[in-house]
A and B are shown apart, each in its own frame.
Chain A
């Protein structure tokens, strides 16, 4: 048998060698010192690669930048102005703030759409049923929110792609309205985080997500039709 190529040796060690030639290759390796040396060399490289650390700590502290980006992208209204103190506002205050923001956000979005959008009819997308009485609110919320977020991500991609089609003043108003809706979403989530099994909060958070999704869908349609 001719010498075994490096490709065949790789396949042998990867476990992907054609079974039809496996026996012949193994017999050759037993008899041929040169091929065995190359095979051992390959195995040694794998051993060294396998011994490399799987975890490497970054030199720079990255968390602060990550947190800043998360907070910048998902602004949460500071109810308590004290900086970086992990003191939670009273639950009733979070709930009230979330409710007020949601109403304001819905009004702002509605005004924008009624004022200027070509499509005024309600789109009827993603209207999730109210939380059933028997459901665990936290589980139901996580499931519903995942669906909303997935849909919103797709729509955001469309909006980002097509936003140049919107008149500048409309784009600016849409951004402001979206920021308000985002604020409502994240305030209701913050309230829910303080009381994960509160059905009213879960329902309010889902309503905020639904408003956001409706708004994004309308803007996406508007920008593609413009």
Chain B
């Protein structure tokens, strides 16, 4: 499938899209905190994946490669929209994520609250938390991706967790 897509076959690329869109969209949604924006970002990600397919050499798993592109696309966009990111709470994103919670381990209320509070975090803290505690990146990797010092990432992560715990305890 990958070889066909690399050779320019859009139908093959569509199948790759369906395999990976859920993971990409979840990442975009949590980092952007806005469903509509997350959809636009997801489109940007897959257009970039298509454009760069020829440079994928198979040294990492395709899913990891796509994920890395997604992180870069979202962080670049988030940086350029910093002022817009300053808003405190979005409504659409937690709703979309709540639907995804149904059928997963915890109850929907629990997931809804948590997603809503993640979406309400300040952008820097949210980025650190999503990439570290949900996506599993290390401090130094996040520092490299965001261009922020690793010490600052740790501080933002600490702040994010504190804010989350405080808000969830209310």
Give the chain A neighbours of B165 by CB distance below 8 A: 41-42, 45
A78 adjacent to chain B (CB < 8 Å): no
Give the chain B neighbours of A14 by CB distance below 8 A: 139, 154, 157
Give the chain B neighbours of A145 by CB distance below 8 A: 54
Tell me the residues in window 92-115 of chain B with beta carbons closer than 8 Å to chain A beta carbons: 96-97, 99-101, 104-106, 110-111, 114-115
A11 CA to B157 CA, complexed, in Å:
10
A81 adjacent to chain B (CB < 8 Å): no
CB distance A55 to B23 under 8 Å? Answer: yes
Give the chain A neighbours of B4 by CB distance below 8 A: 193
Interface string of B74-105 (1 = CB under 8 A from A): 00000000000000000000001101110011
In this complex, the interface size class of chain B, counting residues with CB under 8 Å from chain A, is 35 or more
CB distance B21 to A62 under 8 Å? Answer: yes
| Minimal Cβ-Cβ distance residue in B for A189 | B8
A42 CA to B162 CA, complexed, in Å:
9
B158 adjacent to chain A (CB < 8 Å): yes
CB distance A56 to B100 under 8 Å? Answer: yes
Q: Is the interface of A mostly helix, strand, loop or mixed?
A: helix
Interface string of A39-76 (1 = CB under 8 A from B): 00110011011111111111110110111011101000
A54 CA to B14 CA, complexed, in Å:
21
A6 CA to B104 CA, complexed, in Å:
29
CB distance B158 to A55 under 8 Å? Answer: no
CB distance A62 to B42 under 8 Å? Answer: yes
Tell me the residues in window 148-168 of chain B with beta carbons closer than 8 Å to chain A beta carbons: 154, 157-158, 161-162, 164-165, 168
B26 adjacent to chain A (CB < 8 Å): yes
CB distance B47 to A58 under 8 Å? Answer: no
| Minimal Cβ-Cβ distance residue in B for A185 | B8
B141 adjacent to chain A (CB < 8 Å): no
| Minimal Cβ-Cβ distance residue in A for B105 | A51
CB distance A57 to B35 under 8 Å? Answer: no
Give the chain B neighbours of A16 by CB distance below 8 A: 139, 154
Partner of B43, one of A46, A57, A65: A65
A192 adjacent to chain B (CB < 8 Å): yes
Tell me the residues in window 183-213 of chain A with beta carbons closer than 8 Å to chain B beta carbons: 186, 189-190, 192-193, 196
CB distance A192 to B8 under 8 Å? Answer: yes
A65 CA to B133 CA, complexed, in Å:
32
CB distance A55 to B100 under 8 Å? Answer: yes
Tell me the residues in window 5-47 of chain B with beta carbons closer than 8 Å to chain A beta carbons: 6-11, 13-14, 17-18, 21-23, 25-26, 29, 35, 38-39, 42-43, 46-47
Give the chain B neighbours of A142 by CB distance below 8 A: 6, 54
A55 CA to B111 CA, complexed, in Å:
14
Give the chain B neighbours of A66 by CB distance below 8 A: 17, 43, 46-47, 50
Q: 21 A-B residue contacts at CB 8 Å?
A: A10-B157, A45-B168, A49-B114, A50-B133, A52-B104, A53-B100, A53-B101, A53-B111, A55-B22, A58-B38, A60-B39, A62-B25, A66-B17, A66-B46, A71-B10, A86-B11, A153-B51, A189-B8, A190-B8, A192-B8, A196-B3
Which positions in B face A, CB cutoff 8 Å?
3-4, 6-11, 13-14, 17-18, 21-23, 25-26, 29, 35, 38-39, 42-43, 46-47, 50-52, 54-55, 57, 96-97, 99-101, 104-106, 110-111, 114-115, 129, 133-134, 139, 154, 157-158, 161-162, 164-165, 168
